Amino acid sequence: MTEIDKHIKILLDKKDLKNVASFEEMGYCFLGPLVFNYFAWLKNELNECDLVLFNSREGHFLQQIYLIFKNRYNLSESAYFKTSRKLSSIVSFFTKDDIYKTFELHRFEGLLSNLLKNRFGIQPQHLEDRFINTKINIPNIDDFIDTILENSKSVRVSYENYIKSVIKNAKNVVMIDSGFQGMTQLNLEKTYGFKFKGRYLLYKTNSNLDDVKGFYHFDESNLKKNLIFFESIFIDKIGSYIDLENGKFVNEPFNQKLQFFREKLFIIHGVVNFINDMLKFNLELNNVDWKYSDSIFDLMCKKDFIKNEKLFDIFLHDNYYVRDSIKRINRF
Asked if pLDDT for residue 326 goes beyond 90, the answer is no
**How far is residue 128 CA from its own chain's centroid?**
34
**CA-based nearest residue to 322, from 143, 132, 185, 148:** 132
Least confident of 55-59, 129-133, 205-209: 205-209
Q: What percentage of the chain has pLDDT greater than the value 70?
A: 100
pLDDT at position 28: 98
Looking at residues 142-166, what average pLDDT do you find?
97
Query: Considering the entire predicted model, what is its pTM?
Result: 0.95
Give the model confidence (pLDDT) of 253-298 as tens digits. 888 887 899 999 999 999 999 999 999 999 999 999 999 999 999 9
pLDDT at position 254: 86
Give the model confidence (pLDDT) of 223-237 as tens digits. 999 999 999 999 999
C-alpha distances out from residue 94 to 152, 156, 247, Å: 8, 10, 20
For residue 208, the SS3 value is: coil
Instruction: Name the residue with higher pLDDT: 126 or 199.
Output: 199
pLDDT at position 318: 85
Q: How many CA atoms lie within 13 A of 69 on its CB side?
A: 27
pLDDT at position 197: 96
Cβ-in-10-Å burial (0-12, 13-18, 19+) of 257 comes to exposed
**CA-based nearest residue to 91, from 203, 226, 192:** 192
Asked if pLDDT for residue 205 goes beyond 90, the answer is no
Give the model confidence (pLDDT) of 88-110 as tens digits. 999 999 999 999 999 998 999 99
pLDDT at position 71: 97
Q: Which residues contact 134 (CB under 8 A, 6 or more apart)?
A: 103, 107, 108, 109
Least confident of 56-65, 246-255, 284-293: 246-255
Question: How does the average pLDDT of the chain come out, rounded?
Answer: 95
pLDDT at position 230: 97
DSSP state of 33: H
